[in-house]
Structure 1
Amino acid sequence: MIQSYRIDVYGIVQGVGFRWFAQQTANKYHLVGWVCNNSNGSVEMRVQGQETNVKAFIEAINQGPGYYSRVDKVLKHAVAPFESNNFAIK
C-alpha cells in the first residue's frame, strides 16, 4: 500500500550532506517526494511509496549520512497523497 508522510528531522542535519543522503536513500527504496532545509535548522521531507520501503527509509534516515551529522529526532506525520515522479532536493 502506498503511504505519504511529512518527515521532520532535527539535529545536525544542515551543511553535512543530509539532503543528498536523503535523496540517495529515497532512490534506493524507490520513494518519491522532496527534501529541503528549514530556517530553524531542521530538514523537512515529503515521502511517498510502499509502506515497507518508507519504514526502511526512516530507519536509514535515523542513522544519518555519517560522521559530521547527528540525528536527534525524527517526526513522521501522514499527509495526503501527492504527485511526483522523483525525489528532489529543494
Structure 2
Amino acid sequence: MEAVFLKIYGHVQGVGFRYFTYRIAHRLGVKGYVRNAEDGTVEIHAEGDKSSLEQFVKEVSRGPSSAIITKVECNPTTYQGFEDFTITR
C-alpha cells in the first residue's frame, strides 16, 4: 500500500470539494481523509494501491465543476493504515 498527501489550491472551499473527494475515494477503495485547511486550501491524505491512488489523484485534481483549481501539490507520505475515508473539519 502507498500513501500521498495532496494540497489543493484555488476556490476549493464551499463548493462541495470534500464531498466530491469522498465519493471518488469510496468508489476507488481509497482510505484516508479530506479536510478544509485554515489557509483556504483542501488537504487530502489518501492511501491505497498504486493504480487506485493514481486514478484518485487524477480525478480529484479536476475537482467538482464549481471549483477553480489553481495548483495541486501531491507528495508521498507515510502509510498510516486508515480503515475508511472520512471528511473532517
2:61 is equivalent to residue 62 of structure 1 = yes
How far the C-alpha of 1:42 sits from its partner, in A, is 0.3
What's 1:71 paired with?
A: 69
Which portions of structure 1, spanning 4 or more consecutive aligned residues, are displaced by more than 4 angstroms?
A: none
What is the TM-score normalised by the length of structure 1? 0.93
- Count of equivalent residues: 88
What's 1:89 paired with?
A: 87
Structure 2 residue ranges without an equivalent (≥5): none
SS at match of 1:58: helix
What's 1:30 paired with?
A: 29
- Aligned-residue CA RMSD (Å): 0.8
What is the TM-score normalised by the length of structure 2? 0.94
How far the C-alpha of 1:9 sits from its partner, in A, is 0.5
How far the C-alpha of 1:86 sits from its partner, in A, is 0.7
Structure 1 residue ranges without an equivalent (≥5): none
2:10 is equivalent to residue 11 of structure 1 = yes
How far the C-alpha of 1:83 sits from its partner, in A, is 2.3
Identity %: 28
CA distance in 1, matches of 2:67, 2:40: 12
SS at match of 1:60: helix
Deviations 1:43-79 (A, max 9, x none): 001000011111111111121111x211111111111
